[in-house]
Structure 1
């Protein structure tokens, strides 16, 4: 069946990826999937708890949505699931609309994502200005850090409010309930996540004299086997090390901190049931703003993540339309199992690539690994201290750490290098995200970007008078004559209105790049003003696009008839 050219075919990347698939590649994919599955467990629970949901909601999302995104997606190595970027959005929706409406909003966002991909709009996401992406990413990072201070400090706050100033007020009013044990665990986790990758052998560190001497001593005293073991340990992901060691430390010393068990009663040792949330069109209309926000953020996050994966893996580039369709299917289905919004996740995708993944099989293994953990090891999770998970969430499950390495925080220090438009968009989106919410930030940011774009494009259009005699005047048009630049034709109209009868007006349009309906309308007004005074308007040097617009509208025929 041949689809129209404006529709994208449904072609999951797993189909071509399995052609000429070898046993060696399968072994690497399984190893990568197992590694990512272990990493995904604490992150999924952390994101769900930080979003105001039960921890199992994050795990089920990682299993169901992660599996569907790998099975149906357009990237060979992207891992999907709950993401730190959604924490602020989900927490706000749950607080304002309730959990059932979050499920409906997520399902509706899934439909929008699928339609975006099916209508070949995957590339449109790239048109979102970088300044807006940087602004709301950094704003989300600040809000995530703020929202997690409750568990990091062990504060006795029943429920954290969703907005910025209310959170600050709640923390300040309850700071006297600080739990030193929770803070100690949180700081140990934070410091450990930063230092863990730097504790072992790397080329950059062997250049250091102390490290080089230490390695030489290890080789001399204990032999090469110990060094190999050290290198093997260094490959264990930092979140897993922090989770297991600090959980054991807290449990053995019976520290007075909240755990998964004390707050949520543990994690069910079973897969979720299928349930349909109550649905009505009135509810869908009410949830339009959060639905658009989930869809927009999910599309931007997933496609940015896929681009990062392309650069790291060296595999064939992802199909953005297929990726959006897969994201849509996943987000439509996962709410029926009590899940939360899902998208591509940078931290887990990078882990997948660095672990040797070469196909979507790794993502499927990651989902199966989580199923095994839920069915076999859920009782062990009840001892996980929330303070540990809180720090993981402050880092946005390494999302903030990845964002820092990508240089977004450095954009603030380098703002002097950018234009005023860039600064206004980035800072405006950042402050709107922090003070209001991401929905307002995206809406105002995109509107502001459009206004600034129109302003800049209108400044590029110029009308220059090149020659004048008693009975004729010549003008040169430069740039694009569109709705934002039509006012610049006013000087020509002024010349016509003040000139004697029978004036010949020549417009040299050789440098006119484009023309829209508003530009054509103002040229029509100019032509009418000239002919009413017995004069004549001549336009020469037309490029293809302006000529086509004038011919379709009949404007050229009117000029020739005159």
Structure 2
């Protein structure tokens, strides 16, 4: 039995690459994966650089991340077609970490996040990600989109200013102070880049719009007073990424833990969402816990080579599927081809104008904003709207970590309130019988022997609804001799519910009332037994259904049971 459980556990963590190789991998599969890997590498090349610059670091950091983390995510992951690398979701948190703690702080953050993801996968927490409230995801995703958009105004307009502040309001205040320094050339390049990308998307969706936009903008910008990658960052390295660890402020680990949690949370959620999207496109099924372990290893590897946080990228994964990607080898080839591009094209990348990269990220910001989804959620119930807007505004104006924490807590409270409201405790007529029949001419109360009262609970008896039992006995002018509590419609009971039942039993005992519970389902019966709430003659009785409760009550009060019509 133990060995079987170990095999099942190992199966959950087996990379899809091994599964593919075990099934058989042909030369035709390799050709398909090679074409897909080349396609995705062309898409990822400009994105990796743009995301790194927007995060407050140098463009080669984004390339290192896409190469190292992208290879590891594909090789070790639980999805056949997942493509990993830096994504726009990390920009706000990475920017703040670098500003406050430097590149060493970011490396430590990424290492800690990687270890958190590995632990989450080993503890099989991947399946819990599907319970993430959608308003929280939509709210912070839309907030991230606004943050990315605002971070690109400097390069899009060519503003002559220093570093962009991390705070949203301070950032726009700084833009206002330097708006007179805008460069028409930079604005023209930005508009050209947007026009090319949108045109490619509309009329030639299979073409690499981002790369074509960068090439055209680079050609047009020759001789124009527009800032380029080379003028800001110098020549990009044309060598393999080296294993090098800068000074890491381990003494500030406590301060960095919230940001590490945010990175781990974003990496886990986005990678599993991407895997779900890929499953829908391919008809496959990913291994969520294996995917989390791979994400963790990839982030550790990226950090050790000076890269950025990484996760599964939905757009690049979809591109891989559309291009014919069949196995994790496509993602591994994508990483290898990116390395070739970096080594071969590094001297030319310095001519890429920053305004062109800004146009790329403006489109990315719009893509991840999920405007239609956001607008749709605004028509949801009031609690969902509260969670959505609260998460959104906290993400934009305060801090992404705080937004996630508050959003999850408020969403949990909204859920508990709804569940508590759904629980009913009633003594009304025409209730559903324990056998599933609905009496039409006979009310429940007509069949109760004298001295017997009955109430029915509908819904889960958990801590949010346990207080519904507090005042049940106070509703009777003359205390009954027997009190029937019908529980057939109670699917689950937690410890607070059992405590409430014990408190009800104590009040019944003090008033000389016998408590009869009918129709206990398996889960409530099991929890009640584990918490030592057992039947006691003359105090507490468990019976199978309402008919049995009526018969027992009649015996306890010494009368005959009314016949059922």
Q: Give me the TM-score of the superposition, normalised by structure 1.
A: 0.88
- Asked if 1:347 corresponds to 2:289, the answer is no
Q: Which moved more, 1:77-86 or 1:347-356?
A: 347-356
- 1:179-200: CA deviations, max 9, x gaps? 1100100011012111113335
| Structure-2 separation of matches of 1:421 and 1:189 | 40
- 1:414-455: CA deviations, max 9, x gaps? 346421122112122111111112111111110011000100
1:494 aligned residue (465, 474, 477) = 474
- After superposing on structure 2, the runs of 4+ consecutive aligned residues of structure 1 that deviate more than 6 Å are 559-562
Which protein has greater RCO, CA pairs closer than 8 Å, 6+ apart? Answer: 1
Partner SS state of residue 534, structure 2 = helix
Unpaired runs of 5+ residues, structure 1, are 201-233
1:320 Cα shift?
1.2
Q: Which moved more, 1:320-329 or 1:282-291?
A: 282-291
Partner SS state of residue 49, structure 2 = helix
| Structure-2 separation of matches of 1:414 and 1:111 | 36
Matches within 5 A, 1:7-18: 9-18=12-21
Does the aligned pair in 2 maintain the 1:551–1:557 contact within 8 Å? no
2:257 aligned residue (288, 291, 307) = 288
Q: Show the counterpart of 1:111.
A: 115
Q: Show the counterpart of 2:224.
A: 255
- Asked if 1:63 corresponds to 2:67, the answer is yes
Q: Show the counterpart of 1:272.
A: 241
Matches within 5 A, 1:284-433: 284-314=253-283, 316-396=284-364, 400-401=366-367, 403=368, 408-415=370-377, 417-433=379-395
| Structure-2 separation of matches of 1:371 and 1:549 | 57
Q: Show the counterpart of 1:237.
A: 208
Residues 152 and 279 from structure 1, CA distance in 2 versus in 1: closer, same or farther, beyond 3 angstroms? closer
1:170 Cα shift?
0.8
Unpaired runs of 5+ residues, structure 2, are 429-444, 541-565
1:505 aligned residue (463, 483, 504) = 483
Q: Show the counterpart of 2:197.
A: 193
Q: Show the counterpart of 1:213.
A: none
- 1:285-334: CA deviations, max 9, x gaps? 221111110011111111111111222234x2211111111101000111
| Structure-1 separation of matches of 2:375 and 2:135 | 14
Q: Show the counterpart of 2:505.
A: 527
Alignment length, in residue pairs?
518
Partner SS state of residue 556, structure 1 = coil
| Structure-2 separation of matches of 1:169 and 1:2 | 62
1:9 Cα shift?
4.2
Partner SS state of residue 515, structure 2 = strand
- 1:54-93: CA deviations, max 9, x gaps? 1110000000000101111111111100001111111111
Q: Show the counterpart of 1:439.
A: 401
Partner SS state of residue 327, structure 2 = coil
Q: Show the counterpart of 1:170.
A: 174
1:278 Cα shift?
4.5
1:28 Cα shift?
1.4
Partner SS state of residue 470, structure 2 = helix
- 1:242-292: CA deviations, max 9, x gaps? 0111111212xx111111111111211112221235557643222111111
Partner SS state of residue 236, structure 2 = coil
Residues 186 and 534 from structure 1, CA distance in 2 versus in 1: closer, same or farther, beyond 3 angstroms? same
Q: Show the counterpart of 1:37.
A: 41
Q: Give me the TM-score of the superposition, normalised by structure 2.
A: 0.88
Residues 281 and 256 from structure 1, CA distance in 2 versus in 1: closer, same or farther, beyond 3 angstroms? closer
Q: Which moved more, 1:90-99 or 1:36-45?
A: 90-99
Q: Which moved more, 1:360-369 or 1:305-314?
A: 305-314
